[in-house]
Every structure is written in structure tokens, then in C-alpha cells.
A and B are shown apart, each in its own frame.
Chain A
Amino acid sequence: MSLYGLPLLLAQGSTARSSERAAGSSFWFPPQASTFAKDVDSLYMYIGYISAVFFVLIVVAMVWFSIKYRRRSGYEGDSTALHNNALEIVWTVIPTIIVVWIFAEGVKGYMDMMTPPASTIDVNVTARKWAWSFQYPNGAISTELHVPVNKASRMRMRSEDALHAFYVPAFRCKTDVVPGRVTYAWFEPILEGTFDLFCAEYCGDEHSNMITTVTVHSDEDYEKWLKEAAKPPTDIEAHGLWLYERMGCKSCHSIEPGKKIVGPSFAETFGTEQKIFGGTAIKVDAGYIRESILEPQKKIRDTFQGASQMPSYQGKLKDDEILALTAFIEALKDGKLTDDELGKNDDKPTAPK
């Protein structure tokens, strides 16, 4: 498909995501999926038209002068100083008026983005290397964001480690998530569907994989999803999986045998002997797993020494949750779980078509 060389490489693309752009995208923009999008896009285009006029004038003058006054026999240009104060004032004042207008329009849109309506659905957002976690008013937690259409949602955001930024291109919405502060972003989606959510502030190794989605539901679907999502599984291993997906384990530990993201894979690990940094060997058992969750830097497996940036989960996971995770890792000791075992084929509410 590529016109631009190295076609062999293109065959390697293996992400599950489609290479098609989302429905409703234009040449310049992603879909206009929030109330901000129209204003942002129209100011973008107006600045574009103004700039195009200036740019064309400048380039035409440049090319025309280059041809008309080019050095050639029989032509003698003027070399003396020319000056024209009126002209200088004109081309100082006109751009000034234009940028004042652009500034004012920009501020107007910005104040809209800074001023949420009186009633919003508040979602607690936790950003950590390298995953998002969203907590809803009823206590449900998810790794993808779910919001209802035509209602204002407000993100109340905190980071556990480095700087991150919450960015949904389709909403034209971006705000940094700053450790030590609480920052806010709000938006009102106007299109149902699933859109990309990126981390836009560099945060280290897997920054470019700190991607998830926002699903905009109809009111009814949203309520239904919310109810389902609030119920943790009753089975202990499934609970472990549920935590694995929501607490950020997933972004560094794979559940495929031997696949290293940042930390060791959870598959085929339980019960094995592993060398740790500094020499001695340990057995991966419930005790070691508990210790690694609470004090991740204490015993690091040999080949992962340089990579370990895992934060402590002391106070973030309760004892029964650590046990559930342990049971989940134990269930993986013979390798990968099937989709059924992973609960992927359950009847979960899905995104609207």
C-alpha cells in the first residue's frame, strides 16, 4: 500500500487497531465529538485562511521580485536606500489588529474550556506509568473511559509518578496531569462512539503505549455499563484478573509466556526458581509476590535490574486483593489462559456500534 518505499516493512504492522481513521474525521481533524470541537476547528481554519493570504502575498512578492529584478545584462537596478514610513506603519498595524483578534478568539474558547457547567459527572482519573485508571461516582473502576453523550463530564486528575497529559483529540481536550496537584478537564461529548485517549506529556519508557479509549454511550447504555462495572467478580482468580487490568499491572507485566513489556511476564512464573540481582535465587511464591507488590525494589530479578521503576502498592491494594492477584498469577503458571478463562467472552456491555 505504501508509495514511499520499504514495502517489506509494512507487512510487519501488527497492532490490533485498525489503520482506518475514525468515522467523521476530515483531512485536518479527528471527528468533532465534543462541544469544543467546532469552535476550535473554526478558529483553526480562520487562522489558516489569514495565514494563507499573508503567506501567498509574501511568496508571490518574493518570486516575482526574483524574476523581475534578476541580475541580467541590460538591466540596472536601483541600489539606493528606499524608505517609506507609511508602508512600515501599515504593515505593523494591520498584523497587530489581526493578532489581537486571534488572541481574543483564543481566550474566548479557552474560558469555555476552563469553565465547566454547574452540574457534571465527575470521574477520578489516576495516571501512572503507563496506564490510566478511571473511577466513577458509584465506585466502579475501569481502564478505558466511559461517559454518556450530551452530558458534561469532568475529570479530576492526579498522577502517581511523572507528568502525564490527558488528551482526547476528538474532544479537542488536553490537560496535564501533574503529580502533587489535582488538575481538571471537562468536556461534553456530542457523538456516540469510541475515540482515542492519549498521554501527551512524555513520561518515560512506555509513554507511547499509554493509550486507551473513551467510549461515549447513550444515557441508557452508560447506566447499564456503570452498574456492571461496579461489580467485582466473585471468583478469586477472576478478581485477580480484574485487578490486573485496573490497577496498572497490565502496562508492564504481560500474561503471555516470555513476553517482556517492562517487568517480567506473569505467565509460567509462579513456583519457578529465579535469580535475583545481587546473587541469590528465590522461589516465586505467594510471599515473594506479596513482597514485590509492597516493596518492589527489594528483590529484583536479575535481568530486570535496570528497568525497575515499579511504584509500591502499599496502601493501594488491600490484603484480599493481593491474595486475588497471587491466585491469578498462580493460575497462569502453566502459561496462557484461554479467552474463556480470561472472561473475554462474557456478556459484558459493549460499546455502541
Chain B
Amino acid sequence: MAVKDDAAEEKALGKIIAGKLREQLQSEPSGCPDVEILSAYFERTLSSSERMVCESHLMTCPRCQLFVAELARLSEADERPVIVAEPEIAVEEETGWRFRLAWVAPVLVILIVGGVWYAEKIRNYIRPPEETTMEEPTPPAREAAKSKDHPLAATPPLTPAEEGTPKAREEQKKQVATAAPPVTAAGPAEGQQPAGSGITIKGAVPEMAPGAAVGGIAAPSERDRLAASAAETRVLQIPAGPRPAEAANRAIAAAPPSATPETARKSGRETQALAKQAVGAKPSALTDYTIQGYTPAYHAKWRVGRGGLIQKYETDRGWIDVPSGVQVDLFDVTFSNASIGWIVGHEGTVLRTTDGGTNWSKVSSPTSEDLVRVSAIGDQKAQVMSRSGRAFVTTDAGRSWKPVNEQ
């Protein structure tokens, strides 16, 4: 007993169906719609009533069915070939991706930890004046406070872990109330003009913590906060003459050392104001941040045509001829960047340019069939498609070609 073959059964049944359908089509079709209506039917631009009439005719007319079928077959030429990645390149990209991931993870951890730590510092630094009782000393001030000669040397300097804590703030309040400590200015910030030149500093925002930035540019989570504070433009006038720190110190020293708590608090606020003026802040990395972009120059207009015609569009001159060196019909042109371009045409013609289209040279061809489409990526890689739908790819600027695998 024969084994049942579903595929053969399906195929044979299909033949019967085809035969019977042909039988049922009109032997003498009539009333065929015109070419434009059939074209519009294929493109689905007919009105609903037109479509209904056309379809009822198509159901019985073999000629019109064949007509529409041919339009469907020809419309496949409208699809552009897609560059297929070579297996070697795909593997390379995969390992490169994994490699990048391997070192990104630890950097991310550092950024997150640094960002959290610095966020706390920023919050303390950008506190509003009326609420702030004591400014956190800037790093140089802290360093100065650690020296023996510094009035604050009597008190043990704060450890980094203690800085910014409530205990530290209390400690500093006491110190201001009892002996107005001089605040050592940071001095002219990097890139600024030296003191005495009467410069204006905008946006006194502290410098970035190393952990929170890469390459001097604020991490995304920090940028918004910094941008907001940078918007509070505080114009500080550093007077010409002695160093700002000295002026501040003189102002601070003018306060009586044994003032009452009330006057001490008042003078403390004044001191803070002077201290702020004295502190030379560096401009934020955010204000120096630039965004770079480019416009691809190769998006110029090109066209190709009969008899080896190549033309380029220039704004002031219009379409100008470019010598191709061939006489055959050319069908498609593309550029992968400003310099590298490809043209394909009749009987397997492939042209390539490396100087933006000024000169074109013939390269080897994968076939003697007409080539009707070309796509390119990078300097060396291109894919072409023949009229029959066969696709070929080169990865060595056209020196050799191989067929793209059938899908």
C-alpha cells in the first residue's frame, strides 16, 4: 500500500484547482477596463464602487488577471537591496560589543557612586542664602584650614567623611561665632584672568567632582541640576587691587572678636556674604560644553541615464555632465560617503569613484546581466542587484564579488 504523500497530494490538487479555475474563466472576455483603471486597481487608488466593478471583472477574465499579475511581478523591481552583513564582520561586532560591555559596567558603578556622593555636596553648596547658616568651605579652604597657622587649626580638621554632616555644620557654626575665620579664597580659577584685572565671573558653580564626570563633562544626571544653578547668574566683581582673599580677610577681621551671639550671628551672615564674594569659582563644565554635529556632504543630487550619462546637480550651475568613460545605459547611482560612490548599468557595468564623483572608473562585475540597483556602506562594501533579482556583494571595493545567500 502506497505511503500517503501530503506534499504530492497538495501539489496535484493544486494542479486540478488551477485547471478548473481556468475552465471557469471567460472564454471570450469582454468589457475589459482600460490600462489606467487596471493600474489604479493594482495600486488601490480606485473608489470603492470602481474597485468592486473591476474585481468582479477580474474574477472571470483571464487576460486581466494575467495583466494584474504581471504588474505585481514587475513591482518587485521597486524594492531596494539591503546590505547583508558578512559573517566575519558580524562576529567581530559581537565580540566588540561584549568587550565594551566588560569595561562599561565598572565605570558605571564608579559614576553612580561618585554621583551620589557629589549630589550631596551639590545640595549643601547650592542651599539658599537665607536658609544657609554656614557655607561649606571650598576644598582649597578646607586644605588651608588644615594648616597649623590657620585659626581653625585649633580644632581638629574635619575628615572627608565628616564633612557635610550635621556635626560638621555645628562645628563650623561655633567657629564662625567665636572667631571669624578667614576664608582663603580659591584664587583665580583656571582659565580666568588673574586678580586685579577686574573680571566678571558668572554662575559661581563649584567644579565637578571627579567621580561624577567623564572628560570634564557633567554626567547626565548632574547636568540638569547644574544647568539650573548656572542659570542663577551671579555676577561677581573682583575688585582690582589686592587679592580677593586679603580683602575678605580684612573685612572679616574687622569684626570684633568677642562679639555677642547676636552680633556674631549678624556678622556671621555678613562674613558669609563677603566670603562668597571672595571665593573665586571656576566656570561650570556645563557652560563650556559644546555639541558637535555635521551635515553629510555627499547628499548631493546625482543622476544617471542612457549612453553612459552621469550628471551632478550644483546649486549655481544646475545639472552638469560628468564623464563616465562608458557608453552603455546606466541605471542606478549611490554614495556611501562624500568620496565613495557607485554606479551600475547595462550588461553588468559597475563604476566606482573615490573622489566624490569627479572621476569614475570601471571595476570588475559579478555578472553580465544588467544591474539595476546598487547600495553601499563604508568605503569598501557594496551590494548590487541584477534585473533577474540576483544580488551580489563586494567587501573589497569591487575587486571581487560573491552572491548573497538566498533567503
The answer to whether A binds B is no
- Measuring CB to CB, which residues of chain B are less than 8 angstroms from any residue of chain A? none
Q: A residues near B, CB below 8 A?
A: none
